[in-house]
Structure 1
Amino acid sequence: MLLTLSGLTKRYPTGDLALKGVNLEVPKGQVMALIGPSGAGKSTLIRCVNRLVEPTSGSVVLDGTEITGLGAAALRRARRRMGMIFQEYALVERLTVMENVLSGRLGYVGFWSSWFRRFPRRDVEEAFRLLHRVGLDHMVDKRADALSGGQRQRVGIVRALMQDPQLLLVDEPTASLDPKTSRQIMRLILELCEERGLAAIINIHDVALAQQFARRIVGLRAGEIVFDGPATELTPEVLTTIYGEEDWSQTIRAVEEDEEEAVPA
């Protein structure tokens, strides 16, 4: 098992209990969608995995390494194996596409090399290769603040892959994108995970996209897992359990009728 969460709990200083003893396993190579209403604890769960948010109790084990028990230096090394893709891209606006992408290697190069942006040739070659893969090789010298939302998200994806991770933690990658670009970004993430054998946890609000692009769905409500199963079992009744009473039939039907976006075998 690549990732194991055991009794993961997070209580904020305000007293709010964001996660209530979550138990979750993610095998190598599996893409999992994490859904649930706002405030359910989805972003908190993802950030507890790489300790951008410190868990209150419980454990996070990545490929045999207990993440929650690591000191600062060991945690920096462990984070290399967890690529993070953010909703708001988290790019340095004044830097170029290439400079933002190469920042994904900061955990591997020394301080002065990173300060002067001196990266090994193999890192630069890999950056070019990945930018070509996502269709941005013609924009290497363009500043991040000149890119569209979809282009920025592609840069964020490449930056995460530059870490050579085992696991992608993806936090609402389509929240700021139009419907067509959202599908393109989800398709790209899935294809890259399959090509590189990566596991991924994708926090996503769009239920239809989750059903179209992920085989496994985990539903979170009030800090607890209330559903964990294949996308085909995400019925209106299950969505009511996750989100509350609503007519979910149109959501389910829309997904079932969209055969073009079937998850690859």
Structure 2
Amino acid sequence: MEANKTLLQLQSLNKQYGNDEPAIKDIDLILPQGQVLALIGPSGAGKSTLIRCINRLVEPTSGKVWLDNQEVTGLSKNSLRRVRRKMGMIFQEYALVERLTVMENVLSGQLGYVGFWQSWLRRFPQATIEEAFRLLDRVGLSQFPDQRADALSGGQRQRVGIARALLQNPDLLLVDEPTASLDPKTARQIMRLITELAQERGLGVILNIHDVQLAQRFAQRIVGLNQGSIVYDGSPNGLDANTLTDIYGEEDWTTPQEVEA
């Protein structure tokens, strides 16, 4: 795709659960190809809901989602399955099958491409298997293809999730709190890996993250949500004390953040 081409567009996107206050309200957003965008905001601000409305793991109440000029909202189940191939998802809790090996979990990223019996029998094209090995090497897991997922550390599991998402050959990565369960050093390594891979492959990335400092360090653009609405959309350098108050509420933002043990 062309640089700076619009990859994703959200138009007046809303999600309301029953009679509760809307989880997201009239979200308008354009993501260019190749940009890494971090969603920040307090718990309950609508970050995870927004990500899941994009690939319709959560159905929006109203509004439209466009991916590469194709409207995602309103697609039939079969058409949605084809479009989801272009949207890789990386989860906070990894979403791995614990009893399967690293390689088997990575290959599950191809389930949207192969037939039912091929996936049931775990028969994948040789080219797909070779690409899975290349991805494992790229994410630093070349020595672990036969290791069961339940024997891995949190950082290693997240790397498996990244490789699985990339095996889909997506245009867009949706990343939901990838560092929430990780120690500070591993969190930085995972963020660095995601942004490097996005740059190498020209991917657009929308990343939900609680750690503002990590967002500022690795994202090209910050979108701040509060009570389901966008209250900031701009450069990481624009997150001054007033802006952080708009996003999170009153706090002494001049005090350095404590480093986790």
TM-score by length of 2: 0.96
The structural deviation recorded for 1:249 is 1.7
Q: Deviations over 1:198-250 (max 9, x none)?
A: 01000000000000101200000000000000001111110000000001123
1:171 to 173, 176, 200: 176
Shift of 1:14: 4.6
Of 159, 166, 175, which aligns to 1:161?
A: 166
Same amino acid, percent of matched pairs: 70
Q: Please list the CA deviations of residues 24-76 of structure 1 after superposition, one character each: whole Å capped at 9, or x if unmatched.
A: 11000000000000000000000000000000000000001100010000000
> Which of 6, 18, 24 matches 1:13?
18
User: Where does structure 2 lack aligned partners over 5 or more consecutive residues?
Assistant: 1-5
| Other-structure match for 1:129 | 134
Q: Any residues of structure 2 matched to 1:185-224 within 5 Å, and which?
A: 185-224=190-229
**Which residue does the alignment assign to 1:259?**
none
Tell me the equivalent position of 2:3.
none
Q: Give the gaps of 5 or more residues in structure 1.
A: 255-265
Greater helix share, structure number: 1
What secondary structure, in the 3-state scheme, does the structure 1 residue paired with 2:96 have? coil
Q: How many angstroms apart in 2 are the aligned matches of 1:250 and 1:212?
A: 18
2:152 pairs with 143, 147, 150, which one?
147
What secondary structure does 2:255 align onto?
helix
Q: How many residues in Structure 1 have an aligned counterpart in Structure 2?
A: 254
Report SS of the residue matched to 1:129.
helix
1:36 aligns with 2:12: no
1:53-92 pair list within 5 angstroms: 53-92=58-97
Summarize deviations over 1:60-100 as a string: whole Å, max 9, x none: 00001100010000000000000000000000000000000
Q: SS where residue 138 of structure 1 aligns?
A: coil
The root-mean-square deviation of aligned C-alpha atoms, in Å, is: 1.2
1:125 is displaced (CA, Å) by 0.2
- What is the TM-score of this pair, normalised by structure 1? 0.94
Q: What is the identity, as a one-letter code, of the residue corresponding to 2:91? A: F
Corresponding position of 1:239 = 244
Match of 1:48 among 48, 53, 58: 53
Does 2:186 correspond to 1:181? yes
Change (3 A) 1:14 1:140: farther
- C-alpha distance in 2, partners of 1:156/1:172? 12
SS in 1 for 2:192: helix
Looking at structure 1, the residues matched to 155 and 19 of structure 2 have their Cα atoms a distance apart, in angstroms, of 36
Partner letter of residue 100 of structure 1? N
CA contact 1:208–1:251 (8 Å) conserved in 2: no
Correspondence for 1:98 among 87, 98, 103:
103
Question: Greater CA deviation, 6-15 or 113-122?
Answer: 6-15
